[in-house]
Amino acid sequence: MADVLRTYSEENLKQVVTDLGQPSYRVKQLVEWLFVHPVLSYDEMTNLPASFRKALKERFPLLPPRIYNRQISRDGSRKYVLQLDDDSLIEMVAMPQEKDRLSVCLSTQVGCPLQCIFCATGREGFQRNLRADEIVDQVIIAQNDFNMRVSHVLAMGQGEPFLNYDNLMDALHVLNDPHRMAIGSRHITISTSGMIKGIERLASEPDQFTLAVSLHAAIQSLRDKLMPKMASQPLDMLHQALITYYKKTRRRFTLEYVLIDKVNDSPACLEALIDFCQYLHCHVNLIPLNDTGDEGFKPSGSRTLNQWQNTLIQHHIETTVRNSRGADIMGACGQLKNSL
């Protein structure tokens, strides 16, 4: 694996600067170029001497993804297809919201091994995990393209973040570190399909990152059909892991539920979800399915969505209906499949 400076702490950078015979004030300059006003190449680090840049280039090549394609949605979101240094492609979506708020939904893997049947990414197969710098660079690309600071990060794009746990955490530490990219930990969300080991590991981390769990069905047999690779992580064990997560962290988490017409939106499904939420300190996000080009699946109607939301609220379960952004450019949840 390439040794990429983008994931170095200030301490490590001090060592690099000393080893290359540079004065100590170069550390501050490097931190500035790598994290505070980040650029993607050494050539842009104009206040560093050419000899130092050359040495850095040779010892620590920066290998940023390049924008292969960019589409702009009617709602202002931008979807990027990014080409990595081994030519594989990933997608990232940036969503400007109110003033000063720019959220990035980033990928953690090239493709995804989990093959959830309603998800375009899952149908593309899996190639490899992303390196930590490739995860961080997605944020930098969005930041530079919008010319504004990224305020929120969602590890919710292509891939299952907990299957790339170590690289993900390395990247999130760069994004969160007040001396590096300084994005508040509560503005960083990790979305898992329900990997129990990952939830347990996250519960024991000191970081305050937010957890979201894609549930999509609270009836085991139905969930096994929708998310076949998750059958080894049964709902009762997931439920227990989430109770323990809250006990340890005192942090509420989100359950994501994509509503698919006549698939997982029956009264029995709703009842099962209410049961699942018992003893959990959670918030439920109901998301109407986005078009993934599969004729078999349609989003639930607005009446169903409203009825689910009202019933859940009556059961004292905080619930939001979340309409995904960027659907017209296939940039919404479940639609990411490197289409141009």
Secondary structure of 261-298 in the HEC alphabet? Answer: CCCCCCHHHHHHHHHHHCCCCEEEEEEECCCCCCCCCC
Q: Which is nearer to ligand SF4, 124 or 133 (CB)?
A: 124
Q: How far apart are CA 12 and CA 177, in angstroms?
A: 14
Amino acid at 306: N
Q: How far apart are CA 133 and CA 131, in angstroms?
A: 5
Q: Which is nearer to ligand SF4, 177 or 224 (CB)?
A: 224
Question: Nearest residue to ligand SF4, using CB?
Answer: 122
Q: Which is nearer to ligand SF4, 49 or 125 (CB)?
A: 125
Write down the least CB distance from residue 246 to ligand SF4, Å: 23
Write down the least CB distance from residue 192 to ligand SF4, Å: 8
C-alpha distances in angstroms, 43 versus 33, 47, 53, 204?
11, 10, 7, 41
Q: Which is nearer to ligand SF4, 96 or 159 (CB)?
A: 159
Q: Which is nearer to ligand SF4, 152 or 223 (CB)?
A: 223
Cα angle value 178/180/186 (rounded, 5°): 45
Write down the least CB distance from residue 264 to ligand SF4, Å: 13
- Catalytic residue list contains 124: no
Q: How far apart are CA 117 and CA 132, in angstroms?
A: 28
Cβ burial of 326 (10 Å; 0-12, 13-18, 19+) is buried
User: Could you give the dihedral angle defined by the CA atoms of residues 290, 325, 329 and 297, in that order, rounded to the nearest 10 degrees?
Assistant: 0
Q: Considering 105, 277, 282, 333, which one is annotated as catalytic?
A: 333
Q: Which is nearer to ligand SF4, 7 or 335 (CB)?
A: 335
- Catalytic residue list contains 333: yes
Write down the least CB distance from residue 38 to ligand SF4, Å: 27
Write down the least CB distance from residue 308 to ligand SF4, Å: 20
Instruction: Supply φ then ψ for residue 238, to 5 degrees.
Output: -65, -45
Write down the least CB distance from residue 267 to ligand SF4, Å: 25
Secondary structure of 204-249 in the HEC alphabet? Answer: CCCCCCEEEEECCCCCHHHHHHHCHHHCCCCHHHHHHHHHHHHHHH
**Interface residues toward ligand SF4, by CB under 6 A:** 112, 114-116, 119, 121-122, 158-160, 193, 334
Q: Considering 11, 58, 91, 282, which one is annotated as catalytic?
A: 91
Write down the least CB distance from residue 42 to ligand SF4, Å: 34
Q: Which is nearer to ligand SF4, 41 or 323 (CB)?
A: 323
As annotated, the active-site residues are: 91, 333
